Amino acid sequence: MPETTIETKTAATPDRSPAGSRAAGLVRPVRTVAILGAVGALVAAIALPAFASASGPATAAPVTTEQLAADNAQSIVVASEATQAPSAREQFTATTPDEIEKRKAEEAAAARAAAAAATVASASRPSIAGLALVAPGSGAVRYPVTSFTPGEGPGSGRGHEGWDMIAPEGTPIYAAAAGTVTASAESIGGYGVSIMIMSNINGTMVETRYGHMVYGSRMVQAGEQVSAGQLIGLVGNTGNSYGSHLHFEVRIGGSVIDPEPWLAANAG
């Protein structure tokens, strides 16, 4: 009886047959392809949405920098879109140490000049000690000077528009009526130191003017309210004047009237 040889293989014994070698060779390329495919899918998942968001459809309108700024709630300026506006030197403030010091020096000089002017004005103002601050009387109209010698009036024929009330320099001048000071200056043309007041007298607008006053004697400024008979200055000889006196004018509706009969009819 011939012998029968039985060949067995254990699980630990590698398959070295030609068929086994071919199967192992196929597994390795398949695994590599699978890894590369997974990596590619991961890259696509990350890159494609961002690319699609940035590029957008081919037919979409281009996005402007203003739209980007609005979407991001920020302010954006592109050099090509900026417009250079002309600037004047006065628009700039001092920024360097030298400019700051210069500016401070200019401001200090202006302050010193203002203080000096105020000191001079105060020193040159005549004393009103002993003078009545209110003219006598109780009417809506008062005489601007209580003691005077009548001088030239507007009927002289030489363009004189007021009434010259001759009095010594320093004689008090009073407001002829209550009203608003429309002008008050150390020099107003030929009037010299003068004051002008607009009054409403029984519904009629009346302007009174007081000229040739003493330098520094004005007691009121433009915009202030005055009462009838209030002390406003002192008789002087400034402007086109040849002797101390008050040049007193009255205008109604812009027209010059003779102050002498007007005062006689209305003052009280």
- Does residue 101 sit in the same domain as residue 185? no
Domain tally, the chain: 2
Predicted pLDDT at 160: 79
The residues, ordered by sequence, that sit 6+ positions from 75 with a Cβ below 8 Å of its Cβ are: 69
The residues, ordered by sequence, that sit 6+ positions from 187 with a Cβ below 8 Å of its Cβ are: 193, 238, 239
- Does residue 118 sit in the same domain as residue 156? no
Residue 120's domain comprises 95-124
Which pTM does this prediction carry? 0.55
Does residue 135 lie within any of the structural domains? no
- Does residue 165 sit in the same domain as residue 246? yes
Within 13 Å and on the Cβ side, how many CA atoms surround 137? 21
DSSP string computed for 88-114: -GGGPPP-SHHHHHHHHHHHHHHHHHH
> 210 - beta bridge partners?
195, 248
- Does residue 120 sit in the same domain as residue 210? no
Judge contact between 229 and 174, C-beta under 8 A: yes
- Does residue 193 sit in the same domain as residue 253? yes
The residues, ordered by sequence, that sit 6+ positions from 124 with a Cβ below 8 Å of its Cβ are: 215, 216
- Does residue 158 sit in the same domain as residue 244? yes
Predicted pLDDT at 123: 53
Does residue 254 lie within any of the structural domains? yes
- Does residue 169 sit in the same domain as residue 254? yes
Residue with tokens 């590619």: 40
Q: Is 157 left (phi over 0), alpha (psi -120 to 50) or beta?
A: left
First to last CA, the chain: 175
- Does residue 153 sit in the same domain as residue 120? no
- Does residue 168 sit in the same domain as residue 115? no
Does residue 131 lie within any of the structural domains? no
Predicted pLDDT at 42: 64
CATH code (residue 245): 2.70.70.10
Q: What is the pLDDT along the chain (268 residues), one digit of tens a residue?
A: 444 444 444 444 455 555 555 555 545 555 665 666 666 666 555 555 544 444 444 445 555 555 544 444 444 444 444 445 444 444 455 678 888 888 888 888 888 776 665 555 555 567 777 788 899 888 999 999 999 999 888 866 566 789 999 999 999 999 999 999 999 999 999 999 999 999 999 999 999 999 999 999 999 999 999 999 999 999 999 999 989 999 999 999 989 999 999 999 999 8
Does residue 5 lie within any of the structural domains? no
The residues, ordered by sequence, that sit 6+ positions from 161 with a Cβ below 8 Å of its Cβ are: 154, 249, 256
> 226 - beta bridge partners?
179
Does residue 40 lie within any of the structural domains? no
Predicted pLDDT at 90: 45
- Does residue 229 sit in the same domain as residue 163? yes
Does residue 14 lie within any of the structural domains? no
| Residue at a domain's end among 74, 109, 124 | 124
- Here the tokens at position 170 are 């320093």
Does residue 27 lie within any of the structural domains? no
- Does residue 239 sit in the same domain as residue 182? yes
- Does residue 230 sit in the same domain as residue 155? yes
Does residue 111 lie within any of the structural domains? yes
